[in-house]
Amino acid sequence: MTGQDERRTLSLQPSKSISAVGVFVLVFMFVFGVGFTIVVANVLYENDAPLGLAVLFFIFMIGWLGTAAFMLFYNFRNLREAKGVPIALVSEICTGR
pLDDT in tens, 65-80: 999 999 998 888 888 8
The answer to whether position 58 is within a domain reads: yes
How much of the chain, in percent, has pLDDT values that exceed 70? 75
Q: Give the tens place of pLDDT for each residue, 49-61.
A: 899 999 999 999 9
Domain that holds residue 33: 15-83
pLDDT band at 5 (very low <50, low <70, confident <90, very high): low
Higher pLDDT, 75 or 4: 75
CB 26 within 8 A of CB 72: yes
In a domain, 94, yes or no: no
- The reported pTM is 0.71
Q: Give SS3 for 87.
A: strand
Residue 59 lies in a domain: yes
The whole-chain average pLDDT of the chain stands at 82
Domain total for the chain? 1
Does residue 6 carry a pLDDT above 80?
A: no
Number of neighbours of residue 26 by Cβ within 10 angstroms: 20
> Is 47 within a domain?
yes
